[in-house]
Structure 1
Amino acid sequence: MTSPYPDLMTEIRDFRLHHPDIRYVDLICLDIPGHFYGKRYPMDMLEKVAAGGSLKLPQNCIQLGLQGGVYEIGDYFFKDGDPDAERRLVPGTLKVVSWEAQPLGQMLITSDGTAAPIVFEPREVLARVLERLRGKGIHPVVAFELEFYLFDKHLRDGHPQYPRDQLCNDADDQPNMHIDRLSRFAPVLGEMVEAARSQGVDATVITAEHGPGQFEINFGHLDDGLRAADWAALFCRSTRGVALKHGYRASFMAKPYLQHPGSGMHVHVSVYDEAGLNLLADDDQRSLGHAVAGCLELLPGCMPVFAPNINALRRFGGSVNIANRASWGMESRDASLRIPDSDPHNRRIEHRLAGADANPYLVLAAILAGIEHGLEARREPIAPVNTDRNSGVEFPLDMLASLDGMQSNPDLQTALGAEFVNVYCENKRQDHLAFMQDISAREYRWYL
């Protein structure tokens, strides 16, 4: 058998040699809401797929609703016959699943790179943006940072409870950034990092964050944007699995507590030319200003990507280190775009607006589209918050208004693909309307 990806066949055979007890592998792909879907394959069938054998899944798996609902979007689902679409294995992603009770492997699959990529698959959307940038001689280097909360495994009346550490069984109910919290939760945090590394994810710094049971883990910088987004997606999957193994519930929900800080997805981006020179340091940093201006100009239209649900929009109210407008600043954590202090070669933008539950492929695609837009338009940015604390551009904090803004934005239709924008916005619109079909206990208390 000859594989279209020669290293892929070697990867599979080496994996089987070193893990003879693993009989099944989960082939997984991220959908629009940010959930993995896929199939569990016998290991002995994987080489056939790698050699060019068919690997097909329903095309419309990608656009299932947040709760798995089927939405009619254009001709999809109800008028297209729900056809199968080709997927391929992603080389370098066949890894051991260490948090399951039985031996298991997992591997990413995607439609990008196939004969007929699915234009609304999140990984394909990012792949097209990266390919377009490469054609212009622009090469991003990317690093994600993800915040998340640990909760007790059991909910109380549907509400999350503070986690108890395994050393003294005390509830972590004090918001702080103390280093002692890392020690109290060392067993679960340590295994989270090891599980991530076993997936090939370069998990680095761990921080105890402001919220009770809240942590942040940083990833290394990568010159492969697709792989960087893969890391963020895989980390969420392994972290949830390890937490359950230890008796906790891990969540990337953007705003689980109204009284405590939300969880964000911070993305550091530098861009380089063919010679390896940092474009953001070019022309005495005027290019940095242009990139910032482009990101800020597209940011209001990208809100459905950065805040993909009603809970994510709650994160923008009353918390520390979170912007309520499209803004930027040098070393400013309460701006949407922070410019960290660095030498010219490492000059970068830290995009801080997205919630931790956003889709990492789409977040990075939107950020890169903003940088591309700015470098080409060459407009000057608004004043930084360092010189004007009131500087900033309003962005929508209502779900339906944000969707209208994205769907009607011609720049985003061009940058991300018109078909994707329409499918994505309709998916989110119907998710939102489905969510609103419920009368809460508060409504009865207030209005009955």
Structure 2
Amino acid sequence: MKSQSATLLAEVRTFRQHHPDVRYVDLIALDIAGHFYGKRYPVEMLEKVAAGSPLKLPQNAVLLGAQGGLFKIGDYCFNDGDPDANRRLVPGTLKPVSWESQPLGQMLITSDGTDAPIEFEPREVLAKVLERLHHKGIHPVVAFELEFYLFDKKLDNGLPQFARDPLSDDADDQPTLHIERLSRFSEVLDDMAQSAKAQGVDITVITAEIGPGQFEINFGHSDDALRAADWAALFCRSTRGVALKHGYRASFMAKPYLQFPGSGMHVHVSLYDGAGNNILAAHQQQPLRHAVAGCLALLPHCMPIFSPNHNAFRRLGGTVNAATRASWGFEDRDACVRIPESDPRNLRIEHRLASADANPYLVLAAILAGLEHGLEARQEPIAPLNEDRNSGTDFPVDMLDAVRAMQHQQVVRDTLGAEFVDVYCENKRQDHLAFQQEIHAREYRWFL
């Protein structure tokens, strides 16, 4: 503990030397809904925290709904006295913020690794899965890919408008994969990439996607799965901020346009043993088949994680590469679980089902739980799409059915934690019900 405090203190002091104009640092963590919460600390107080002073925030901040409200979940929120819970600073994440009008820093905080971790905190859920895998000699290497849309900064009666092409000032309203779009939007895209790199995020490939104003950013592969999920979370925050600075809105909303492709979170995962051998490639790739079978078995029971809101379910079965059934295939982007072509050393799965606005910690935890289950159950998967285009198993396509499928599935409860599953499912159920408490203009058109 002393060595960690010394490391954190050195990190804070080095940051202050390099950024003497920064007076405040945002200490941030991701809640269940995938939004950041936290506190803005004077940088001199941060030194005290780094040196070992307690860092406490309300435990129930993790339970916030999609709109920031609290729901009654068991005794949480309204019958527990709203207690504080300890957090700790995540080493290596203190970085300058470039998109605010005033000099600012930010740093991740978490309850994992404290004396009393919050069982339903997303980062803690992933940390427990990883700890269990490491005890079994399994070491994941992970890379995220995130799709997002650029919109005009101004909304039209609450609805998004197409981003304006900086060169022509026309709306970028045509679906296209043309690389020229990267040039036309290069100023904002370059700032997004540089701002993310300043946060320590390993940005690699940038792609113009099919949707108008839609892009994809790939991250480097990391043998620290927690850090890989940190990167995905931090990238979303910095990208939204940079977009506003340039006169746009960046959105990771799953399906902003019904007629255009949705935005997904694709996760590449390979598994290695302690000697660095690719577990999935052993024995003529039989472990790969078992891992795929496990992923497909748990997938229908993790849909509230992969599609965390009403809009995310709209993306399923959409215009391009969005599956309607749990399926797999070699080099097949219509599959939920794709096996990219690679040499044995880099053999991996690409899990393509999650929406871009899903919680990266929970998505990765659910994927790893599926892989773990498959390696232990050693069952054969269904036929790949390459052999049978109709292959696949059904999964829930609305939130209430998805919550019912998740809450009582014993393997999910055992691998992700029963307390987390109960809390998460009730949070999603309440979010869904809250979403229904507004009459849309369409209802008046249909029924008035």
Superposed CA offset, 1:337-396 (max 9, x none): 000000000000000000000000000000000000000000000000000000000000
Unaligned runs of 5+ in 1: none
Give the match for residue 256 of structure 2: 256
Which AA in structure 1 matches 2:21? D
1:52 paired with 2:90, answer no
2:373 corresponds in structure 1 to 373
Residue 249 of structure 2 aligns to a residue whose secondary structure is strand
Question: Is the CA contact (8 Å cut-off) linking 1:3 and 1:50 kept in structure 2?
Answer: no
Question: Using a 3 Å threshold, how does the CA distance of structure 1 residues 272 and 2 change in structure 2: closer, same or farther?
Answer: closer
Does the CA contact (< 8 Å) of 1:90 and 1:108 recur in 2? yes
**Corresponding residue for 2:398?**
398
* Aligned 1:144-159 pairs, distance under 5 A: 144-159=144-159
Paired residues of 1:204 and 1:217 also in contact (CA < 8 A): yes
Asked whether the 8 Å contact 2:5–2:52 carries over to 1, the reply is: no
Partner-residue secondary structure (3-state), 1:266:
strand
CA offsets, 1:176-233, max 9 Å, x none?
1000100010000000000000000001100000100000000000000100000000
Distance 1:124 1:2 in 2: 22
Q: Equivalent residue of 2:302, what SS?
A: helix
Query: In structure 2, what is the equivalent of residue 223 of structure 1?
Result: 223
Correspondence for 2:83: 83
CA contact (8 A) 2:182 2:189 kept: yes
How far apart, in 1, do the equivalents of 2:122 and 2:285 lie?
32
CA contact (8 A) 1:3 1:52 kept: no
Asked if 1:15 corresponds to 2:22, the answer is no
User: How far apart in 2 are the matches of 1:39 and 1:285?
Assistant: 47
Query: Aligned equivalents of 2:247 and 2:220: distance in 1?
Result: 28
Matched to 2:268, the amino acid is H
- In the alignment, which residue of structure 2 is the partner of 1:199? 199
Maintained 8 Å contact 2:54/2:86: yes
Whichever residue aligns with residue 47 of structure 1, its letter is E
Contact persistence 1:147–1:356 (CA under 8 A): yes
Residue in structure 2 matched with residue 410 of structure 1 by the alignment: 410
Q: Determine the C-alpha separation between the residues in 1 that align with 2:434 and 2:236.
A: 25
Greater CA drift, 6-15 or 420-429: 6-15
SS at match of 2:335: coil
Q: Is the 8 A contact 2:262 2:318 kept in 1?
A: no
Note if contact 1:305-1:359 (Cα within 8 Å) is conserved in structure 2.
yes
Q: TM-score, normalised by structure 1?
A: 0.99
- Unaligned runs of 5+ residues in structure 2 are none
Provide the rounded CA distance (Å) in 1 between the counterparts of 2:431 and 2:384: 36
- Aligned counterpart, 2:323: 323
How far apart in 2 are the matches of 1:299 and 1:90?
A: 30
2:235 & 2:107 partners in 1: Cα distance?
13
Q: What TM-score do you get using the length of structure 2 for normalisation?
A: 0.99
Distance (whole Å) between structure 2 residues aligned to residue 68 and residue 223 of structure 1: 33
CA offset digits 1:258-277 (Å, max 9, x no partner): 00000000000000001100
Q: Which residue of 2 aligns with 1:34?
A: 34
1:3-402 residue pairs with structure 2 within 5 A? Answer: 4-402=4-402
Query: Amino acid of the residue matched to residue 290 of structure 2?
Result: H
Cα pair 1:3 1:9 within 8 Å, conserved: no
Per the TM alignment, residue 3 of structure 1 is displaced from its structure 2 partner at its CA by 5.9
Partners of 2:447 and 2:317 lie apart in 1 by 25
- Measured in 2, the distance between the counterparts of 1:231 and 1:24 equals 22
Q: Indicate conservation of the 8 Å contact 1:203/1:217, yes or no.
A: yes
User: Runs of at least 4 residues of structure 1 off by over 6 A?
Assistant: none
Residue 5 of structure 1: SS of its match in structure 2? helix
Q: Whole-Å Cα distance in 2 between the matches of residues 165 and 229 of structure 1?
A: 32
Letter in 1 for 2:39: K
* Deviation, structure 1 residue 2: 5.5
Structure 1, 3-12 or 254-263: larger mean CA deviation:
3-12
- Mapped to 2, the partners of 1:245 and 1:47 lie a distance apart of 30
Q: C-alpha separation between the residues in 1 aligned to 2:30 and 2:286?
A: 37
Distance 2:182 2:18 in 1: 33
Shift of 1:408: 1.1
Give the letter for the 1:187 counterpart: E
Measured after TM superposition, the shift of residue 167 of structure 1 is 2.0
Contact 2:139 / 2:271 at 8 angstroms: preserved in 1?
A: yes
Q: Alpha-carbon deviation of 1:5?
A: 3.4
Aligned-partner Cα distance in 1 for 2:5–2:107: 15
Name the residue aligned to 1:426: 426
Q: How many Å separate the matches in 1 of 2:325 and 2:169?
A: 41
Aligned with 1:177: secondary structure?
A: coil
Task: Report the aligned-residue RMSD.
Answer: 0.9
Residue 317 of structure 1 deviates from its aligned partner by 2.9
User: How many aligned positions are there?
Assistant: 448
Task: Work out the percentage of aligned pairs sharing the same amino acid.
Answer: 75
C-alpha distance in 2 between matches for 1:11 and 1:167? 42
